[in-house]
Amino acid sequence: MADAYKDQVAKYRHELIEAAVEHDNQLLEKYLGGAELTEAEIHQAIRNATIHHGLVPVLCGASFKNKGVQALLDAVIDYLPCPDRREGDPGPPAAARHDSRRASPGG
């Protein structure tokens, strides 16, 4: 990562962690107490917040050159609920949606 982006990345990481731990009282207390959260705790907090509709993960990529595809697949596995085991949701099976955009020559 370029040095020019390190401060911005740290800022957004901090904001993401704060948003995720707001949905877990134990982690929130630990975080506000100044304790360092483990990567596993951060991932679990993001997953819990996503499942309970507190966060919506957004990822970008380009399948044409296979940029970001693996990160998207990893995020689906890490953060989204299993479609046949959605807690408290008697509705139909979950569905996924994607938005495909193509750049046209000349803008």
The pLDDT score that the predictor gives to residue 104 is 64
Outline where DSSP puts E strands in 1-107: none
Q: How many folded domains does the chain comprise? A: 1
56 within domain boundaries: yes
Contact at 8 Å (CB) between 20 and 55? yes
pLDDT tens for the 107 residues of the chain, in order: 788 999 999 999 999 999 999 988 999 999 999 999 999 999 999 999 988 888 888 888 888 888 888 988 899 889 888 776 656 555 555 566 666 666 666 65
35 within domain boundaries: yes
1 within domain boundaries: no
Contact at 8 Å (CB) between 83 and 93? yes
92 within domain boundaries: no
The pLDDT score that the predictor gives to residue 80 is 85
